[in-house]
Homo-oligomer: A and B are copies of this chain.
């Protein structure tokens, strides 16, 4: 349970930044080199590398260096855990909203009966 909570902490922490989300967005299309990943961003390579390090430490990506090229790829498990947590919350909230709607409807029908 603690591991599950730590996974969610890490996933949500990593995603709380637009650069890191854009990197994830790029990696959904397949692995990419650091150079390729850094290209769209107007920031120095050291700053960009820090974002990659956060993503790697938080378990959302992994990387491998072959020769002088470091290639990054997505780890989908953490992303999936975060999505399924959010999906669960929405289902619970939706159930609550449906119940409230049923209650209001029943009350309106009853109050209609009383009036008739």
Contacts and interface: CB of A to CB of B under 8 A. Distances in A.
Secondary structure class of chain A's binding surface, majority of residues = helix
Contact of A9 (B16, B28, B80): B16
Interface size class for chain A?
Answer: 20 to 34
Contact of A5 (B18, B29, B96): B18
A31 to B, nearest CB: 10
A8 B82 CA distance: 13
Interface string A2-40: 000100111011011110010011001110000000000
A13 B16 CA distance: 5
B15 A12 contact: yes
A29 B92 contact: yes
